[in-house]
Structure formats: C-alpha cells, structure tokens
C-alpha cells in the first residue's frame, strides 16, 4: 500500500509553496505571467503543487539579470567563487533527506536513488571547490626570442542549462556548480515534469547567495519549450546551451545554436549494452545487469538496454536474470523494501506498451514481465513489471531508446560478433564487458572495441563517478560534463603572446619592412 505522505507540509519545509513562482533571478518573481503548471506525483497520480510559469517578458528579465550579475561574478577570484559553492554543498547536506524525498515524490525513483542524487550534488560541490584552485592554463614553447606564449581561460558568460526529469537536480549540479567556479552565471530550465525539485534547489542556493550580497548568478525559469526553450536556444546573449534529453531534442538544439555560431553541450539518449564473456562471473554480472536495467525503472540515460551474451554463458545467465527479475519488489518508492518505482507518467507507460507490441511484431519473445500493474497497491497507473526480451539483431526496435525497463538479450559466438552488435546502434553513451581475460577486455577498450564515451569492465553501464567526464558519442551528442577537464566547456580559451624584448621578430621567419 502506498504510504501516507503529508505532501504539502513536507514540501513547504523546502520552501516550496502550494502555488509557487517558477521564475527566479536571486529573488522570486511574485507574479510570472505564464500559465500554471501542475506537478503530479507518479506514485499515486495526485497533485503535489502548482507552479506559475514564465512568459516572454519574464524570460527577458532573467536574461538581463544574468548578464548584469556576470559582470560582477566573473571578477571575483575563482577560489572565492569556490568558497561560495562550498557553502551551497553544506546547505545541500543539511537538506539531503528532505530534498531526496522530494526527488522521489516527484520522479518516482526509489528513496535510496533520490537521496543518492542529492549526494551526487554534494560530491559535485566538493569537486568544484577543488577545481576552483586548478583552472590551469599552459606555457607553450615559442620560436621567437624574448617572447613568452601561454594560454589562459576566461569565464564564458551566462549559460543555459536544460535538464530532464530523470535526474532533476544532479545534472544541474554537474553544469551549474562547475560553471559557477569558472565565473559564469546560469539560467536553468528544468523539465516541466519535475518543477518542484528545481524550485527547492533554487531556494537553497538563494539563501547562500543572499548571505554574500549576490543575486542573478543562479537563475531559474520554468516554462514551455516555445516560450522559454526556443528563446533560450536561439538567444545570442547565451554563449553555451548545455542540454540533457532525447536525441530529437538535441538535434533541434544543435541546429539552432549552430546557426548562431554558439556552443552546445549535448548529453542525449543512450542504448547501452553489456557484453558477458564465457569466463565472466555470472553472479557478479547478474547483479550489475539487474541494477543497470531496473534502476530508476529503466529511465536513466545509462540504463542497460541490451545484453549480449556469449553462447557458453547465455542459458545460465538468462535463467539467473529471470529468477532475479521475479523477485524485484515493484511499488511505493518511499518504501525502503521497494527496488523499482513507477514510470514518470502514463505516456511513458504507453510508450513501453507500444514498444513491446513492436517486439512481438518483429519476432522477439518476452521471457519475463511486460505487464502494466493495477489494483490498490499501484495507484496512478504508472507501474509496470520489468521486462526481459529474447531478441535478434534484425529487430529495428533494438536501435531505439525506449525509456522503460526493457532488456533485449542476444546470444553470439565470439567477441568480434559481440562488439559489432554492440556498436550497431545510433547512440554511444555507456558500455560494459564482463570478463577475466586480459586480451578480451583490452580489445573491448581499444580503438576496435566499444564506440561509447564510457567503457567499463566488470561493472555495469550506470552509476558513473563524478571524477570522470560524463557523456557519449554519435547520437548521444558528444558533450562531456562533470569531471576531468569538462570544465573547459564553460570557459573561453585565450592564447597570449608577450614580447618582452625590444625588437619585433615575426613568426615563420617572415621579414616585413623597408631595407637600406
């Protein structure tokens, strides 16, 4: 039975009102001029709260505030900016339980994942603080005597951050906290399916910034794709758009931003596969596949969607998976015993059902699951059973990303066949292989192996650490967020040459002037 939650009292603890403004530039706009947006919980289909969204004049106000704030923020030394981000991390620690619960309430992911997403924000803040003292440039060798050449990095400007419903706060932190220490200001457009988590985070950040006499650095604007999304994408005052979402959305953003010669950082769809070799530990592989395929109800961009098994392990591994799937508790994500909550809405359920109809039409066989769950324990109509499909390479549906817990299983005879099948999809985000053989794992990691941005050995496709750059190739968009040197996306590079001599030698030995 779904637990009773005093929704409005709980949400108010995070500073979210029953009818809340969806526009903020450090201060909330009291009366935005857009229509009301209702946030429903997929747990039971009930309304949580309402948000008054932005119109075009609200959008213009936020952009102007972000531009003005940038002129001040960029001049604050990076370590000082890092200190402010550190304080944001501390406030997130204080609100971890409440905010994680709101993530669960609004997205339907289990409570452990909701709190885990907030922990990811906290970790990201810690990472950004260290990074604030390491925004390094290079000193380069120059061919001219008495010259010095180097490169340095400057803040880029106000950037747009577009996030998806499945990670409503963590992905914001990957971008915003890194961009903040880099000296940028932010305009955040969250998913209209998860506006309340964005409002709660903005409220937490507002308190920190006001204590420092700052506003307009972190900004929030909730609105539809035409009023806010299209304007943000086309706005020449926004040098970078970082967007997470579908490949279709990314193509549109890439086209519009490219036409104005802006920058886009795209983290789009995934169609991630795990290859299991004959020498793999089947129990280890089973646990990784189960979490990768069922976690967040199959609504992660890194969800394991394809399982490619060598013939020697296929039967045993399939049996283990069917047994494991049959023991997955589906239901109330606020119950600690639950491993899989609901899909985000009924539209997602319909898309899963349609995908499974295509599976049957294309010759696939459902080995387990594929049902929509009904009854008093599953209110709201968004609960499904995780699904295992016996598939074959000629099926067209396997090349598409269905945001649901559907796992397509294949059997192959060797690693070359496995890699060819693995790479034969438009997307290229995350990948994994399970093996103890050094030759096989190195081949998988080499240029002839996985074509994804992430390649793992003996761990699954999801659950990436923040220290590594996150993103993928092909239709996944090519962007990189979070760790490593992903910070460079939020800054502009400047090559500097200093002549400290008294002559003017030219590069390439060119002689220019009058002789005699």
In sign, the C-alpha dihedral spanning 140, 141, 145, 146 is positive
Residue with tokens 């324990």: 377
Strand partners, 309: 276, 411
Return the CA Rg of the chain.
25
What secondary structure does DSSP assign to 43-97, as a single string?
TTS-EEEEEE---HHHHHHHHHHHHHHHHHHTTS-HHHHHHHHHHHHHHHHHTHH
Strand partners, 482: 469
| Closest by CA position to 383, among listed 330, 436, 308, 420 | 330
Distance, CA of 205 to CA of 390 (rounded, Å): 47
Report the length, in residues, of the chain.
516
Residues 373, 385 contacting (CB under 8 angstroms): yes
Distance, CA of 225 to CA of 233 (rounded, Å): 10
Residues 364, 332 contacting (CB under 8 angstroms): no
Task: Report, as residue numbers or ranges, the catalytic residues.
Answer: 267, 301
3-class SS letters over 387-453: EEEECCCCCCHHHCCCCCCEEEEEEECCHHHHHHHHHCCCEECEEEEECCCHHHHHHHHCCCCCCCC
């Amino acid at each position: 039975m779904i637990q009773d939650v005093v929704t409005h009292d709980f949400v108010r603890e995070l500073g979210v009102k029953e009818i809340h403004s969806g526009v903020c530039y450090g201060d909330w706009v009291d009366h935005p001029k857009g229509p009301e947006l209702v946030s429903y919980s997929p747990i039971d289909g009930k309304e949580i709260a309402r948000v008054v969204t932005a119109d075009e004049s609200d959008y213009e106000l936020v952009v102007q505030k972000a531009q003005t704030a940038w002129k001040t923020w960029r001049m604050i030394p990076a370590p000082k900016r890092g200190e402010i981000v550190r304080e944001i991390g501390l406030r997130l620690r204080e609100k971890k339980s409440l905010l994680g619960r709101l993530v669960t309430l609004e997205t339907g992911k289990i409570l452990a994942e909701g709190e885990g997403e907030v922990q990811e924000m906290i970790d990201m803040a810690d990472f950004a603080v260290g990074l604030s003292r390491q925004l390094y440039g290079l000193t380069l060798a120059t061919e001219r005597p008495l010259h010095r050449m180097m490169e340095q990095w400057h803040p880029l400007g106000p950037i747009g951050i577009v996030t998806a419903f499945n990670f409503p706060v963590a992905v914001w932190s990957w971008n915003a906290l890194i961009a903040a220490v880099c000296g940028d200001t932010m305009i955040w457009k969250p998913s209209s399916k998860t506006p309340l988590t964005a409002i709660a985070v903005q409220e937490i950040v507002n308190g920190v910034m006001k204590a420092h006499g700052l506003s307009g650095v972190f900004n929030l604007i909730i609105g539809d794709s035409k009023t806010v999304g299209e304007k943000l994408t086309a706005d020449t005052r926004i040098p970078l758009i970082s967007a997470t979402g579908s490949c279709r959305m990314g193509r549109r953003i890439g086209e519009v931003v490219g036409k104005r010669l802006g920058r886009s950082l795209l983290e789009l769809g995934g169609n991630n596969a795990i290859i299991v070799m004959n020498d793999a530990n089947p129990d280890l592989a089973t646990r990784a596949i189960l979490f990768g395929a069922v976690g967040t109800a199959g609504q992660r961009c890194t969800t394991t969607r394809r399982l490619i098994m060598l013939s020697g392990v296929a039967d045993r591994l399939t049996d283990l998976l069917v047994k494991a799937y049959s023991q997955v508790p589906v239901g109330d994500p606020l119950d600690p015993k639950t491993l899989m909550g609901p899909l985000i809405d009924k539209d997602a359920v319909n898309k899963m059902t349609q995908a499974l109809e295509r599976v049957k039409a294309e010759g696939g066989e459902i080995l387990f699951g594929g049902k929509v769950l009904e009854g008093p324990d599953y209110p709201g109509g968004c609960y499904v059973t995780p699904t295992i499909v016996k598939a074959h390479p000629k099926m067209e549906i396997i090349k598409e990303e269905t945001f649901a817990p559907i796992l397509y299983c294949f059997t192959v005879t060797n690693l070359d066949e496995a890699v060819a099948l693995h790479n034969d999809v438009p997307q290229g985000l995350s990948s994994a292989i399970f093996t103890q053989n050094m030759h096989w794992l190195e081949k998988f990691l080499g240029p002839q192996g996985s074509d994804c941005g992430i390649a793992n050995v003996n761990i699954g496709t999801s659950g990436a650490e923040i220290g590594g750059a996150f993103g993928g190739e092909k239709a996944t968009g090519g962007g990189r967020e979070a760790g490593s040197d992903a910070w460079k996306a939020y800054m502009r590079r400047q090559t500097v040459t200093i002549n400290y001599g008294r002559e003017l030698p030219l590069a390439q030995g060119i002689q220019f002037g009058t002789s005699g």
